[in-house]
A = this chain, B = another copy of it.
Amino acid sequence: MKRSERLVAMTNYLIEHPQQLVSLPFFTNEYESAKSSISEDLTIINQMFQQQGIGYLQTIPGAAGGVKYIPRNSKEKSELFIDQLATKLEDPERLLPGGYLFMSDLLGDPQTVRNIGRLFATHFSDSTIDAVVTVATKGIPLAYAVASYLNVPVVIVRRDPKVTEGSTVSINYVSGSSRKIQTMVLSKRSLKQGANVLIVDDFMKAGGTINGMKSLLEEFEANVAGIGVLAEAEDEDEDRVVDDYVSLLQINNVDIKNRKIEVHRGNLFEQ
């Protein structure tokens, strides 16, 4: 195979298999090329990935080694994306009764969701994560986007048990904002004991839901390696019960009377 053809095929393969170790013999067999040619190809790809701000190739030496594509947004790319998203969220048309913001259109756009996933995956790319955990419903697409770039499975906590889940573990918790007692269930089969998990959700106010997930995960002896929320908002009535989280956006000063919303970069950008 010619270099030009190999570069297209290898770029596609690496992008489709993020965070996955690919051995050099795999490429030499697949494209019937010498090891030295493949190495040169990988150097070109690595340079271009970095130049395009989409990540880099990690080389693992030795007999069991190979290369791994680590998706990683450049700082400029991340900031540009989040500032555009913040501007969209400041549209007063989004205001709903109770000071909530309509976000379903943005969360319904696969490209936006993938970009959000890239930001979290960039932040947590050096952490050991075995699974991404979220709670139904709105966090699900975000969790898959992150998991896809981290190459780990998604585990979905539900509000109600379903027969197709098999036996489940359930907990009751107090919701932060509404102070109502709520239930969360997780299928016993869905998470191994002692797994390192990343919690992902779309929105956090007091943090009751995330705290509920943490309690449920304790039943699985899981280690919470990180918590990522798309947007956080202040809760006047209550102190936050979760503190070790990163957010992409901060929603401040929702002024229903004057129909004004301020949305800023979240704390992920302060670090």
Contact = CB atoms under 8 A, between A and B. Distances in A.
A48 to B, nearest CB: 4
A49 interface: yes
A149 to B, nearest CB: 9
Contacts of A189: 102, 104-105
Number of copies: 2
A251 to B, nearest CB: 12
B163 A104 contact: no
A52 interface: yes
Identify which of A3, A12, A105, A109 gathers the most chain B CB atoms within 10 Å of its CB. A12
A153 B109 contact: yes
A100 to B, nearest CB: 5
Contact of A114 (B98, B148, B190): B148
A152 B109 CA distance: 7
Nearest to A99: B163
Interface residues of A, number: 56
B11 A164 contact: no
Given A12-B54, A137-B156, A166-B96, A110 B148 contact: yes
A64 B158 CA distance: 47
Contacts of A5: 44, 47-48, 51
A102 B166 contact: yes
Interface in A108-158: 108-111, 113-114, 136-138, 140-141, 144, 147-148, 151-156, 158
Contacts of A171: none
Interface string A167-207: 00000000000000000000101100000000000010000
Nearest to A10: B8
A15 interface: yes
A45 interface: yes
A72 to B, nearest CB: 13
A9 B52 contact: yes
A183 to B, nearest CB: 14
A219 interface: no
A108 B166 contact: no
A241 interface: no
Interface in A27-49: 44-45, 47-49
Given A9-B52, A12-B52, A141-B141, 9 more contacts: A7-B11, A12-B54, A100-B164, A102-B189, A109-B153, A110-B148, A137-B137, A137-B140, A164-B203
Contact of A163 (B54, B100, B113, B151): B100
B163 A97 contact: yes
Contacts of A140: 137, 140-141
